[in-house]
Amino acid sequence: MELTNIIEQVISGIIATLVSTFIIFIIGKFGGKKIILKNPNEKFKLASLSLFSVLLFLTSFFGILSLAGFYFEWAKFEYLIIITIVFGVLGSFAYQRQCPNCKSVFGNRRTNTETIKKEQRPYNYRDLTIYYYSDGTEKNREHTGKEKTKIETIETRKDYFECSCGHKWWGAPYEVNLSLESRPKPNKIKTNYRNPEGIY
């Protein structure tokens, strides 16, 4: 590895660390300590950070390194992008699953699901035909006929949770389409045309 690349990576690592730390600080400052700390009454320190905060820091850190790798054209910098996506997904999971009280991600469970309301909604569609090349890849799509309407059943639900620390809470209401599986399926046609972008 050339000296120039080493210097670029060291400087990028320092910048990524500083920016990621600043992001955590800003979120804690304006969003409240309860978002990033296990206990909002504790002082800000590494040991008091929630799992979500740690994953957010790592997502930001590797995201900035990915940008640096793209700018400086580092070899195999694509792996940094993959790592960023992985930590981002894990961070989103941790934020949605963590207990509002102790910030535990794995110590809570769903205790009940309540159906708030059920309603009928129209779903408008046209007949769809999908054509495929001889190798199985999609060639094009074609909508035909007049627009049709199908009535679907939509439920609005709310989940209730309880953590091992004793805290209980409920999540935001969400919709579930009970008729999604019964939507009209497209007509699939395989042609004899070769894929112009395929490997022969």
pTM score: 0.64
What's the pLDDT score for residue 161? Answer: 94
| 126-168 per-position pLDDT tens digit | 999 999 999 889 999 999 999 999 999 999 999 999 998 889 9
User: Three-state SS string across the chain, please?
Assistant: CCHHHHHHHHHHHHHHHHHHHHHHHHHHHHHCHHHHECCCCCCCCHHHECHHHHHHHHHHHHHHHHHHHHHHCCCCCHHHHHHHHHHHHHHHHHHHHCCCCCCCCCCEEEEEEEEEEEEEEEEEEEEEEEEECCCCCEEEEEEEEEEEEEEEEEEEEEEEEEECCCCEEECCCEEEECCHHHCCCCEEEECCCCCCCCCC
The pLDDT of residue 188 is above 80: yes
At 7-48, the pLDDT tens digits run 888 888 899 999 998 888 888 777 666 777 776 666 666 667
pLDDT of 98 > 90? The answer is: no
Instruction: Round to whole Å and give the CA distance between 100 and 37.
Output: 10
Contact 151, 120 (CB under 8 A): yes
55 burial (CB, 10 Å; 0-12 / 13-18 / 19+) is buried
Count other C-beta atoms under 10 Å from residue 103's C-beta: 25
Q: How far apart are CA 153 and CA 175, in angstroms?
A: 10
- Report the pLDDT value the prediction gives residue 42, as an integer from 0 to 100: 67
Over range 98-124, report the average pLDDT.
91
User: Would you give the distance in Å from CA 23 to the centre of its chain?
Assistant: 19
Average pLDDT, the chain: 87
